[in-house]
Structure 1
């Protein structure tokens, strides 16, 4: 394995052990054609970036070469798609230097809302303010170490206001409300998931997508509730969490403010109803095939094999052996063997996503040099 295969940011955080495809439990049974179609979405995006002369980042140079081969085969069957992955990629097990692989789930929520505020709808999702500056990955601004965004002022840059300050009106007119929801807990869930479908009073559905964040660290309120003894981790579900937030409004407000991270949104009018939400790679996500990864370590478009268990209920799980494509990221997705599995849209997807907090083996499919 070359240093380029691992990527310079990996360093001592994990080692990559080479495998053969027959070492992957369930590889023969997966729907490689479905994975290939998700892969093609990333390939089209990478090809468009190359056409715009954007600099490629390792391992994107080799990945782009594989993509150009994939784009010659727009609709392969399962057997042909399987042969393609085997011919152009080498699997490597990701072995973290500490801990183990860990997988969670996310989805696109659906809630009722209104474009204008009234007594029923008073909780806004805000658009991206003009003074918000996103700090490029791997870079820092003096005095802002550890932050991923900053506020531009006449005198330079300063930390962006946190959740509590923004909710108390620190941005004034800098951030326009995009849509209004009924419950603070609904808005918070959308912040965590990064996108939503909003059912409006006229029967139409509005899509909202991630437009930026204040750069403050993310804190899991579910973990805080477990630490306080309000819930136990084994029986926590998304529905149970949202019920607690609704039934304890004052405590919920204080709890949610412990997560200082704040997300801004835009209306995603370009999305068709059948499209998934826009991921970090700038393309619609594919239910059951799109994976959020640590973007500082892995390139968008990289195929990743997951080996573990996928919960169906609190007491039942099914084997997970599936080829995913890195197409998104998230503030809580940090580490070489950390992922977030996209389940889709709506209540059932949310139920499944809320159950997934499991140890999983991650196998990176690195493109073969010269492919």
Structure 2
């Protein structure tokens, strides 16, 4: 039977205790349903490369230890992961499949998680584009990628040390704060000649999709590679241009993919340019000099992402480092054929379009093939969240310090952010 996670908390009044007279019991998840599951019943669990997921999990643990939770006070799940992370750190560097699988089985309990009233979650994919380009403008490379402008003021504070991708953004004009320039103004040259171009690429569509993905590899004429990662946004609303193509009857809904969008833009250059400008959102980049050649793009947790092991989740609901087992049929085969996708994933990223307890963006790696695959993913999936065994979902809290018998006072219910 599913356990509905309440968006509210209950205050418990304790008698004859050294603890405060009332202590809030924090919720695990809001607007979610949890149903106990078994590792033995997870399709593909025994065949999955769990050791790869353990490696990603340990990197998330190390980052969590440095930066803490993005929400204060730290959420129950984040707190419950700490001792598990300590035990994970004591495992051998390469523990092997059997030991890795035993570790997750011993430390966690699986629960199917879904939005209340919905049976399945929803999956999309993303990737890191790789295109040819130059550090300077040339007759061949004329589409700029911009670094973060010094006059950009983003109201939302950084998340876990990383720039926020939510909230309004401003600039000062005559002493007043005004909304930052939208895409059309930037493409028309309002930032031109300010030394903000970090690289140049051949096709404006490549620059556009790099902003959607939040990262790009620019391969230089000398063979070198410039790695660029997200470093801020203009605060304008994001409009999915694929949705516009479907609504206008230009691409059938069942054939919508990133490849379909690119094909339309290539076949209709003028209309494609205007279509892209309808997405007023604009993204700025920084050069990620800390990344090695084979590292994935840096996610919101501050770690290089791992192909088919890292997912972006709703950071307001889920803590970074949380393990999820994803079971779905995705169009990852030849010509988009459906194939089983059954992998243990680690929450290491987020995105403004990733909303809800059973919603994830799967990172598929870098390059054209990863882009083609990720652009096709718009599928339902089964989300199994692995919860530390110390958590009791029925109470929606970590165990509180022992107290004498207490009563629940229904008049002291309060909201928990």
Written as runs of structure 1 = structure 2, the 5 A alignment for 1:174-323 is: 176-311=196-331, 312-314=333-335, 316-323=337-344
Bigger mean CA deviation after superposition, 35-44 or 231-240: 231-240
Task: Say if 1:91 and 1:216 are closer, same or farther in 2 by CA, change over 3 A.
Answer: farther
Residues 313, 347 of structure 2: 8 Å contact kept: yes
CA drift of 1:363 comes to 1.5
Quick one: distance in 1 between partners of 2:157 and 2:39? Answer: 33
Partner residue in 2 for 1:27: 45
Residues 213, 261 of structure 1: 8 Å contact kept: yes
CA drift of 1:254 comes to 1.3
Query: What TM-score do the two structures reach when normalised by structure 2?
Result: 0.80
Partner residue in 2 for 1:44: 62
Bigger mean CA deviation after superposition, 154-163 or 287-296: 154-163
Gaps of 5+ in 2: 10-24, 160-164, 392-397, 399-417
CA drift of 1:155 comes to 4.3
Query: What TM-score do the two structures reach when normalised by structure 1?
Result: 0.89
Written as runs of structure 1 = structure 2, the 5 A alignment for 1:1-371 is: 8=27, 10-11=29-30, 13-49=31-67, 57-58=74-75, 59-73=77-91, 74-99=93-118, 100-136=120-156, 148-153=167-172, 155=175, 157-171=177-191, 176-311=196-331, 312-314=333-335, 316-369=337-390
Bigger mean CA deviation after superposition, 119-128 or 241-250: 241-250
SS at the partner of 1:106?
strand
Partner residue in 1 for 2:22: none
CA drift of 1:147 comes to 6.1
CA drift of 1:98 comes to 4.8
Bigger mean CA deviation after superposition, 315-324 or 341-350: 315-324
CA drift of 1:24 comes to 1.9
Quick one: distance in 1 between partners of 2:27 and 2:236? Answer: 25
Task: Say if 1:354 and 1:7 are closer, same or farther in 2 by CA, change over 3 A.
Answer: farther
The structure with the largest alpha-carbon Rg is 2
> How big is the alpha-carbon RMSD for the aligned residues of Structure 1 and Structure 2?
2.8
CA drift of 1:18 comes to 2.4
Residues 170, 235 of structure 2: 8 Å contact kept: no
Residues 128, 175 of structure 1: 8 Å contact kept: no
Residues 304, 362 of structure 1: 8 Å contact kept: yes
Quick one: distance in 2 between partners of 1:249 and 1:261? Answer: 20
